[in-house]
Amino acid sequence: MNIIVKSFIYILLAVGLSVFSQNLFSQTIISGSVKQHDGSGIPGASIYLKDTYDGATSDVDGNFSFRTSKKGAKVLMITMLGFEPYSKELTLDGTPIVLKVEMKEKFNQLNAVTITAGTFEASDKKQANILTPLDMITTAGAAGDVFGALQTLPGTTTNGESGRLFVKGGDSEESQTFIDGALVYAPYTTSAPNQSVRGRFNPFMFKGTIFSTGGYSAEYGQALSSVLLLNTTDIPDEDQLDLSFMTIGVGAAGTQKWKNGAITASLDYTNLGPYMMLLPQNFEWKKYPTAIEGAFSLRQKTGKTGLLKVYGSLGNSRFAVAQEDLNSDNNQFNYDIRNNNNFLNASWKGSISDKWSLTSSASFTSNKDNINFDTNSFDKNLRGIHLKEVFSHPFNERFTLRTGAEIFSKTYSQAFSTQINPAGYKNQYTNNSGAAFAEAELYASTRFVARLGLRAEYSDYLQRGNLAPRISAAYKLNKNSQFSFAYGWFYQNPTDDYLLYTHKLNFERADHYTFSYQASRNYRTLRAEVYYKDYHNLSKWNGDESSSAIYSNSGYGYATGLDLFFRDKKTIKNGDYWISYSFLDTRRDYHTYPHEAIPGFASKHNIALVYKHWFGGIRSYASVNAKYSSPRVFNDPNSLTFNGEHTKPYRSIDISWSFLYRQNIIFYAAVTNVFGFKQGYGNAYGTVKNGDGVFRSREIIAGADRFYILGCFITFTKKGEANQIDKIE
């Protein structure tokens, strides 16, 4: 019996060992590695045979190995969050299989690369905001001016006697401003010759700002150098009343909110008389600057996705200042100017189907200047209308098409009269233009994106059309840095002063080449950009208004440079600073230039250093802004060398202080040019020679060596938590 049992056990063991050995040697070993495109391993990836339980998980280096007894054709699957699934059909016959798998990162537009060439963007959707509405308010020296704050960014040149934007070697006429997609024909206030202007709009109207210094989208035209895109705020959170009291004026604004909409109305009065009587001025004012402006803003949701925005403003301003008459000895005249500006802007954005969205925008501008000087009267009237429709269709996550059309209508006139000739003369022109564009945005991956666009325009006044190709692309080196490139043709009509006298001109043109690098990490942003602009068909005039034949498009030029920007919100606790530097090399032959020369608005070197700090213990926000621009050139008609003279360098150190007395009450103080640097912007010259055979001149200087402002801002809400500098803490 024992022998029988033992024999049976031996038989079972033999059979078991035989079966085990057969299974062991018939199993297939599958091993390998799972890597990213840069060669680094992907840990935690799931590797398995489809419809089985056989599989493994990759280790910290991305390696894996497992055995399977399955036979024949099977599909190997590899999955990992953030990557495209991988599959491969295998033949299992006991032969070891070794795989080296490179996983493709799963496409997600939220994490995808964005094109930054020539573009500074600040919005709620961007992690690395460059310049926000709060920055525009709290940056010392900007004085709450959108354009003043932008002049702390690279690519801009400070012209203290102008205040307008001069971008990458471009004249101020080469920059355009859009609000919610619609053109603003008169974005600046009115001033006397060689006196600085400022923007017409409050920065807190806007939730996002895109400042494109070149290579911008085919959606925008009629700008050789740059576009500023301002997007207004949406529906506010609650009812609100804002009061402001400043040394230069007072203001009030009220917001009434309902379920799906809100309306805001404001009224501002400015009078610099009391301020200028107390503090020394470099100009002799005959009537101190005053202005009154009223505005309203309506927001209304429409349907499930639509949002209607309407903004309107009406403003009147006046001043009179004594100016020296350079065409006569020991004589001066009063330059008296009145401005009336009306602006209306409307936009609607929403979905019109499951895949198509529509953005409609429209604007109307009426700007009138009545100028009296000596015994002369000079009137300038501008009326402009802009209508635009933009359709957008994402065919999938990787391909989006934008297409649209727009209509521009502009009427501009000048009227001049004297005591001797009261009837005077009047010149006027009307230009109706149409444009259409199409632009495709293609994501090859989350690392590479390209944007291809084409814009077509036609002017009935010039009786000409143009086609402008645009291309831009970006490649993401890693999650923190990327390269961008942009190229395109950009067209613009000649200036109004030329079109008043002739319609036989062509569009001016600039070709842009822009390369940029940007890195952002831990609230630090570094940006470097090189560019080249090639100007063609610039307008020329020989100084004789008697015939249109003396106007031509024979002008040309170039601008090339390097822009550097660094911003750091992390290193210094409660501190925030940025440094901008621009190098510019530019020459052009245009207007009345006798030959190619450095233009008078261009500085070779521009530097800005802005530092802000929040002092929690005393509930205060301080800002310092130091700016330097190297000397610019200007022309002395008494010299044989054109544009051979140089201005003083521009230097200014500005400070501001905001004190949060209560959550809803803020006291504000600011000083521009604290150290009183003498600003000199060259000389103005007469148009006729005096008895000694020379053109008389005077230096162009700032209106005052320093500018001071004190203010108190009070906000009333139900919660009592809101204020007017957008939570400065």
Q: Report yes or no: 509 and 536 within 8 Å, Cβ to Cβ.
A: yes
End-to-end CA distance of the chain: 94
How do residues 95-126 score in pLDDT, each as one tens digit?
999 999 998 876 555 455 555 665 655 443 44
Q: Report yes or no: 198 and 187 within 8 Å, Cβ to Cβ.
A: no
- Of residues 680 and 143, more confidence is placed in 680
User: What secondary structure letter does DSSP report for 44?
Assistant: T
How do residues 191-209 score in pLDDT, each as one tens digit?
888 888 888 887 777 777 7
| pLDDT, position 304 | 85
Ramachandran class of 39: left when φ > 0, alpha when ψ lies in -120 to 50, beta otherwise: left
Q: What percent of the chain has pLDDT over 70?
A: 88
**pTM confidence score:** 0.82
How do residues 692-728 score in pLDDT, each as one tens digit?
889 999 999 998 999 998 989 888 888 766 655 543 3
Quote the distance between the C-alpha of residue 392 and its chain's center: 21
Q: Which of 299, 268, 272, 275 is nearest to 288 (CA)?
A: 272
| pLDDT, position 331 | 81
Q: Report yes or no: 212 and 227 within 8 Å, Cβ to Cβ.
A: yes
Instruction: With H, G, I as helix, E, B as strand and everything else as coil, classify residue 270.
Output: strand
pLDDT bracket for residue 12 (50, 70, 90): very low
Pairwise CA distance, residues 505 & 113, whole Å: 41
Indicate the range of 1-15, 126-140, 446-460 predicted with least confidence: 1-15
User: What secondary structure letter does DSSP report for 649?
Assistant: P
| pLDDT, position 39 | 80
Q: Which of 668, 626, 620, 628 is nearest to 648 (CA)?
A: 628
Going along 325-375, which residue ranges are E strands?
332-351, 357-373
Q: Can you list the domains of the chain with their CATH numbers?
A: 26-102 (2.60.40.10), 119-659+673-706 (2.40.170.20)
18 by Cβ neighbours in 10 Å (0-12 / 13-18 / 19+) ranks as: exposed
Indicate the range of 140-154, 280-294, 440-454 predicted with least confidence: 140-154
> Does residue 478 have a pLDDT over 60?
yes
| pLDDT, position 21 | 45
Pairwise CA distance, residues 22 & 595, whole Å: 93
How do residues 568-612 score in pLDDT, each as one tens digit?
989 999 999 999 999 999 999 999 999 999 999 999 999 999 999
- Of residues 422 and 392, more confidence is placed in 392
Contacts of 427 (CB under 8 A, 6+ apart): 413, 414, 415, 500, 501
Q: Report yes or no: 155 and 563 within 8 Å, Cβ to Cβ.
A: yes
